[in-house]
Each structure stands twice: as C-alpha cells, then as structure tokens.
Amino acid sequence: TSVNINEMLDLILKRLKPIAEKQHVDLVLESFRPVTAEIDEVKLTLAITNLVENAIKYNKEDGWVHVSLNADYQYFYLKVEDSGIGIPEDSLEHIYERFYRVDKSHSREIGGTGLGLAITRNAILMHRGAIKVFSTEGEGTLFTVRIPLNYIA
Ligand code: ATP
Ligand code: MG
C-alpha cells in the first residue's frame, strides 16, 4: 500500500523521543521532500525503529541522533547518523548476524538480544532495498538506507 514516509518517520521519532530524552540525546529529523512509497509499513517501521533505537542507546551523554529523508524519481533515502560509541572495524561485517553484539564492556551493559539489525536488514532486502554502514570507533556511526518507491512484492 501507498504510505506517507514523512508521517511514518514523524511517528517513529515521536515514539522514541522519551528514550532519547532520558539519555540526554538530541533526536532530530530532517525531511528534505515529501515522499510516498509502496511499502510494507509494519515491517519498515520496525526496521527503522531498530536503527534509531540503536543510535540512541549506543550513544554518549549529551550526544545527538540525526535522521534524514530524501528521494529521487526511483528511491527514497534514509540516513541515521549518531555521535555514539561507534563500531570497531572488525565488527562491522558481523553486525547483521542474528545474536551478534559487539563485545565491549561499554555496550555489554546496555541491554539487547542482537536481533535488531538482522530484522532491519531482512525487511530492507525484502523491499529490494540496500543498507550500508560507516562507523568510527569512539566517534559515531552512519547507516544509509535506500528503498525503491514502487516495490512490488
Ligand atoms: P536488539 O536490537 O535485538 O535489542 P542489539 O541492539 O544488541 O539488540 P542489534 O540492533 O542487532 O542488536 O545490533 C547489533 C550490535 O551492533 C549491537 O549490540 C551493538 O554492539 C552494535 N551497534 C548497532 N548499532 C550501533 C550504533 N548505532 N552504534 C554503535 N554500535 C551499534
Ligand atoms: Mg538494536
């Protein structure tokens, strides 16, 4: 079905706002254009929620999370960028595996099962989309997502 992606993101961020505030993380959404797309709203809502939730929980005191939405004639593009603890280079290839969590005392004390990103990636691939990660340990992480506007199951 046709989904208003701007509204979907508004809702996702609204729901995560209290968690961000509790961690003193500034959560900002920047929508560069209106986007509607043929997507499975339930699955992509979960996928994006996982990304933003990670960006909040693997962050630092007084950190920030920046979510942005853009589109061209074929795809919409999502960026989730954070000022958090980052992901070590040798962990990057494993983060989409089920139950994988970076083995750092730092992230160990943060709760989680290690399923979030596996679910996120599956949902994005199901839409014939793509996800990429860029990260620097101690500085932060950027996830980029690309989803076709007209996905046919
Ligand atoms: P769950 O999402 O199932 O509650 P989780 O957050 O540990 O648990 P994933 O979302 O799959 O699991 O993430 C896997 C691991 O990747 C995390 O445990 C964490 O070590 C690392 N990670 C994911 N996102 C980030 C991020 N934005 N910054 C730093 N590390 C991250
Ligand atoms: Mg997670």
pLDDT of residue 109: 74
Expressed in angstroms and rounded, the spacing between residue 116 Cα and the centre of ligand 2 is: 4
Atom of ligand 1 nearest to the CA of 101: 18
Cα–Cα nearest to 78, from 40, 113, 115, 45? 45
ipTM over 0.90: yes
Residues with CB under 6 A from ligand 1: 50, 54-55, 58, 82, 84-87, 95, 100-102, 107, 112-118, 141
pTM of the model: 0.96
Q: Which DSSP letter does residue 109 get?
A: T
Q: What is the pLDDT of residue 153?
A: 57
pLDDT tens-digit readout, 100-151 = 999 765 655 788 899 999 999 999 999 999 999 999 999 999 999 999 999 6
| Cβ-contact 40, 126 below 8 angstroms | yes
Amino acid at 141: T
